[in-house]
Each structure stands twice: as structure tokens, then as C-alpha cells.
Structure 1
Amino acid sequence: MSDIIKESNSTKKYIPHMENIKNTAELLHLPTNFIREKVLTGEIVAVRAGRRYLVNVDKLIEYLNTHTIDPEIEPDEEADNYLCRNPRV
């Protein structure tokens, strides 16, 4: 996904694939709230550009591939933990 730029001294630099939250969500078929939460907590790589956040799509894909659900945790316990961290107002 990333483009490569060749420099004069024959080293290579990668240009990361950056998208705003909405485009990232559409590209990966994920909820925008999920991505926004991960950006705001610093769990995924993103930079602020004015009022918007630009998400490093390659790093997000890497994050999704490495963060899996622990099979020892029961789904109800996981839901309870989520609700404790994100109470409704």
C-alpha cells in the first residue's frame, strides 16, 4: 500500500497510506466510532491535521492483525469491561 521514494543516496523511504477517520472506516469496513476511539486513546498511529485526524492505514491493519480477543475471557466479561470503561451519559 505504501509508496516508495528513492533518494539520491540509494536509500528508500516509505510514504505511509494516510486517510481521515471516515475514509479509513469505509476502506476497512469498520465503524467510525471504533477508529475514532483508537485514535483518541493513542492505540493506533494517527496525526492531527488541523481539525482532522489522519490515520496511518498500514499501521491500523497491522494493529488489527496483532490484537486478537483472548479466548480465556468470556464474552460477557469482555462486554462488562467495555461498559465499565465507556459508561453512557
Structure 2
Amino acid sequence: MGQEVKMVTLKEASSRTGVSYDWLRKMCINGKIAHIRAGNKYLLNWDRLVDYLNTGEPEGN
């Protein structure tokens, strides 16, 4: 079957990566990091975020 997608909040992503919450939020707003909005929250695809932080190449939204 399909691969399970791990979604994390900005707060969790910041805590797990050491990257600031504000930087992650700004990158979402500018379309640099793949994310979805759930109300006021940004949810990030964990695997795509790690790939972006390692390569600097966004995969799209």
C-alpha cells in the first residue's frame, strides 16, 4: 500500500530540527517549504522538510 505521510506542526518541526519557528513560518508563507494549512496552523510534510533542509531544493506544495 501507500507510504504513510508524517505531518508536523511548525512548533514540532522547530523543536526537532533546531530551525527557528519564525524562519519555518516565513519559508511556508513564501512557498519554499511544502505545507498545508489547517485553520491557522501550518502542517509540514516531515520527509519533504528534511529533504529541503538537506538540499535546499523545494519539491512543491
Question: Under TM normalisation by the shorter chain, which class is it?
Answer: 0.7 to 0.9
User: Which of the pair has more CA radius of gyration?
Assistant: 1
CA RMSD of aligned residues (A): 1.4
SS of 2:42's partner is strand
Cα separation, 2, equivalents of 1:31 and 1:17: 20
Number of residue-to-residue matches in the alignment:
57
Q: Given the two structures, how large is their TM-score scaled by the length of structure 2? A: 0.83
Q: Which of 40, 61, 84 is the equivalent residue of 2:50?
A: 61
Whether 1:47 aligns to 2:39 is: no
Moved over 3 A (4+): none
Q: Given the two structures, how large is their TM-score scaled by the length of structure 1? A: 0.59
Question: Which structure exhibits the higher relative contact order, with contacts defined as CA atoms closer than 8 Å and separated by 6 or more residues?
Answer: 2
2:23 alignment partner in structure 1: 34
Q: Percent identity?
A: 30
Mind listing any 5+ residue stretches in structure 1 that lack a counterpart?
1-11, 69-89
